[in-house]
Structure 1
Amino acid sequence: MKLVKMSLAAAVLLGASAFAIDNMKVDGDASVYYGTNNKQYTPVGGTAKSGLFDKTTSFADTAVRVGVTGDLMKGVSFGVTGYAVSTLGLENNLVSNTWTGAHGAAANTAASVGVQVNDASWIGEAWVAATLGKTTAKIGRMELDTPLAFSEKWSIVPNTFEAAVLINQDIPDTTLVGAWVGKGNGTNTLHPAYNGPVGIDNVVAGAANFNTFMSDGAYAAAIVNNSFKPLTAQAWYYNVTNVADAFWLQGDIACSLVKGVKIGAQYAQMDQKGHLYAATSNSSAYAFKLGYEGVENLKVSAAYSKADRDGALKIANVATANGTSQSKLYTEAYWNYGYVGAPSAESFNVTGEYAIKDVVSLGAYYTQVSGNVANSWGGANDHDLKEAALTASKDFGPLNATLAYISTDAKDQNIKVGNTTGSRYDSVLAMLKLKF
């Protein structure tokens, strides 16, 4: 799903539960994802048309993940995760695109057959971790979940990293994090070779190849503190070599005056440097969130964010295509990424989720973004967006089934013939995941 639900503070605590593994454990899942929309398209030699479930405006994929974890010796553990993706030939019958660009594509020998979408398989994780006292070191290929560089898990397969992470919890109620990120297989725009020729998600690169992260790798350091129990505060610093210095500050508090009320604040800044962005302005954004979880199985929230008007980078994931990558800002949309963290973007988000026990989990999400001005470095920020999404999810034992409907009205999408701004369109997603 395209919704970030994981607490950042919880995500960085890679500690005891992640490494206290008894002997050997094997798990995984198999997924089938399908999506369609009614954007306008013009077939070769034909007239413009649109329609839900039309092959040209539909995309589908299948994926299998298998993971193995175990103990090498006391205090030392390992993990290996393999991925495989295949269209099962669906692009020849029901769809014209895929979810992930990890496939790659090749021309068939018979011109009439068109382009062949290749299957792909790779090792997404291969790490070793050692724990001594309250300090854990982890090295190898792994998922990461930090505010500005993370594995995007909404699509059918996530991007991962080659990194080294050190975590210490000797200070009471405090977690210290240090990391070096050397490579990744995300669609980083600094490496055009990352980008796969197919796929709608811009998450995993073609053939899932690992390449140098950003320009020359990156360092990160963080402190997460929970000394005042209702409050989780975190501060992150990134040194992305020859690209930017970045900061992320966040505080989330459970209100003691009104049970169930949660309040959050975020501030992010990316100071460009080096040969890539030396002549451009810095990027920054702030956000606030008010949530209520005082009713069983119900979660509601409202959020607001504002980005400055001159930034070269968006306040979003730098590990994937930053123009359309997911953001950790509270206002992030359900489906349309690349808007809330854009220069000059002023955004609102309202979210409601309700679980009917043993029946269905329902979600409703609305995001609105405005900010159409020209900035100081010559870009035109035509990124107005109105998105409404409805979801329904149900578990049938190990099988999860999710349906989603999204209404998108964006100035830069679905620009029909003869118009200069986009028109509203509908999207429908169906996702099945079988865990084993």
Structure 2
Amino acid sequence: MKKAVVMSLAAAVLLGTSAFAIDNVKVSGDAKLYYYTDDKNPSDLFSQASSSADTALRLGVTGDLAKHFSFGITGYAISTLGLENNLVSNTWSSAHTATNPGAGNDVSDEAWIGELWIAATYGNTTFKAGRMLLDSPLSFSETWSVAPNSYEAFVLINQDIPDTTLVAVYAGHSNGVNAVGYTDGPGGAADNTSGLGLDGIVGAGGKFGTHGAQGANVAGIINNSYKPLTAQAWYYNVVDAADAFWLQGDVNCELLKGLKLGAQYTEISPKGEYEGVHDSKGYAFKVGYEGIENLKVSAAYSDVDKDSVFKVANLATNNTVASQSKLYTEAFWNYGYVGAPNAQTVNVSAEYNMDIAKFGAYYTNVNNGFVDTLATPRVGVDMQEIALSASKSFGALDTTLAYVSTDADDQNNGSQSNSIQVYLTLNF
């Protein structure tokens, strides 16, 4: 176990700021401990074979270099702290690798710089370059696990037009697992491969590789001229892999206070190495109500066409397996089903914030059928998930306890299984 890596990471981030005369320096971060266990055959809940755990440290520094210029640097370090030798047999982060796979379960500690950027702001325009987290409907940093994927990119944001934000991005590299754009065609080896872990987000060792085949270009517009409506449109050019667009509108209904409506439509058109493959098309609708204090309820439906190779999900992580989707119907835990070809999904959720804790209940049902892929035809995968969660903050410590019931054709020999998850985050 390379414990010195964690210490050197923190020292590098802090010492990097002391060498310059900079203003408005802010230091922030968090320490996480995540635990997961399930009762999939032949294991039981809390057994070592069915459990995963990870710790992560995030340390970030931002500041002003000069008038109009700012910077940011964030380091990430992950470690099992040796838990894989007694309490668990897997990790959360896929950035881990096995240090001695032939003689036990020893797992590497890993550390990397996930953000290292400089930004220039003049008037209503900001230009940002370097390593950073990004958030857009089809290419984004997944933040649900212990450590997110990030990008090496150029970003231009302009807000000169009233109530309108224009975004332009070129992302040349990323450290997401199996980002779209394979080196030898569909189904071939990807630039960034997964190590251990159950999340499939960050590539082994946190290593950065080409995003797509030759990078990706993204353009977006977000408009709120009509105050109840937030409309957005995005275009993606993943070079030599796919063109895509995403349209979305979310409305706060004026006729009934607390009523919220949303609609999404997307299309991913393969090209280059994927030329001749059918487009991936999908749409979703959502109805939500927040008219009762501390209560949020919603219902959503989505439909993805069957003739496709890419899932309607993140193009920057493990798209062909289990990357997260921005569709309204995305599940609480089981990613990779909602955006799959020929998936029709219903999602119902409710959240209630009480003094004792914030409680959540989520139901996702994915119906799938016959799917025609690039290879041989296969049977689609049905999935049903019920998730219950309770979250509570104790000062700087955020805690969440979750229970998930999963019944999926491709899990546990098609039988229902249960999982329990614990999330602990200490903010500083």
Unaligned runs of at least 5 residues, structure 1: 1-20, 41-48, 416-421
Separation in structure 2 between the aligned mates of residue 259 and residue 94 of structure 1, nearest angstrom: 49
Question: How far did residue 194 of structure 1 move?
Answer: 1.8
Taking structure 1 as reference, are residues 235 and 255 closer, same or farther at Cα in structure 2, changes over 3 Å only? Answer: same
1:156-175 equivalent positions in 2, closer than 5 A: 156-175=146-165
Match of 2:26 in 1: 25
Match of 1:17 in 2: none
Question: How far did residue 193 of structure 1 move?
Answer: 5.1
1:29-428 equivalent positions in 2, closer than 5 A: 29-40=30-41, 49-107=42-100, 111=102, 113-189=103-179, 190=182, 192=190, 194-275=192-273, 277-322=274-319, 323-357=321-355, 359-375=356-372, 377=374, 378-415=376-413, 422-428=414-420
Question: How far did residue 376 of structure 1 move?
Answer: 5.9
Taking structure 1 as reference, are residues 22 and 360 closer, same or farther at Cα in structure 2, changes over 3 Å only? Answer: farther
Question: Per-residue displacement from partner, 1:96-137 (whole Å, max 9, x unpaired)?
Answer: 0000011212226xx5x4142000011000001111111000
Letter aligned with residue 363 of structure 2: Y
SS of residue matched to 2:378: coil
CA contact (8 A) 2:125 2:159 kept: yes
SS of residue matched to 2:36: strand
Unaligned runs of at least 5 residues, structure 2: 1-21, 183-188
CA contact (8 A) 2:253 2:259 kept: yes
Taking structure 1 as reference, are residues 95 and 385 closer, same or farther at Cα in structure 2, changes over 3 Å only? Answer: same
Letter aligned with residue 423 of structure 1: S
CA contact (8 A) 1:265 1:286 kept: yes
CA contact (8 A) 1:188 1:318 kept: no
Separation in structure 2 between the aligned mates of residue 200 and residue 135 of structure 1, nearest angstrom: 39
Question: How far did residue 197 of structure 1 move?
Answer: 2.7
Letter aligned with residue 106 of structure 2: Q
Question: Per-residue displacement from partner, 1:208-259 (whole Å, max 9, x unpaired)?
Answer: 0000001110000011111100000000000110001000000000000000
Separation in structure 2 between the aligned mates of residue 197 and residue 23 of structure 1, nearest angstrom: 38
CA contact (8 A) 1:195 1:202 kept: no
SS of residue matched to 2:169: strand
Question: How far did residue 207 of structure 1 move?
Answer: 0.3
SS of residue matched to 2:346: strand
Separation in structure 1 between the aligned mates of residue 379 and residue 345 of structure 2, nearest angstrom: 14
Question: How far did residue 375 of structure 1 move?
Answer: 1.9
Separation in structure 2 between the aligned mates of residue 354 and residue 380 of structure 1, nearest angstrom: 41
Separation in structure 2 between the aligned mates of residue 139 and residue 381 of structure 1, nearest angstrom: 44
Match of 1:46 in 2: none
Separation in structure 1 between the aligned mates of residue 340 and residue 177 of structure 2, nearest angstrom: 18
Question: Per-residue displacement from partner, 1:139-192 (whole Å, max 9, x unpaired)?
Answer: 000000000000000001100000010000111111111000000001025353
TM-score, normalization: structure 1?
A: 0.89
CA contact (8 A) 1:86 1:119 kept: yes
Separation in structure 2 between the aligned mates of residue 258 and residue 118 of structure 1, nearest angstrom: 54
Letter aligned with residue 221 of structure 2: I
Taking structure 1 as reference, are residues 232 and 22 closer, same or farther at Cα in structure 2, changes over 3 Å only? Answer: farther
SS of residue matched to 1:207: helix
Separation in structure 1 between the aligned mates of residue 127 and residue 133 of structure 2, nearest angstrom: 14
CA contact (8 A) 1:260 1:293 kept: yes
- Residue 425 (structure 2) pairs with residue 433 (structure 1): yes
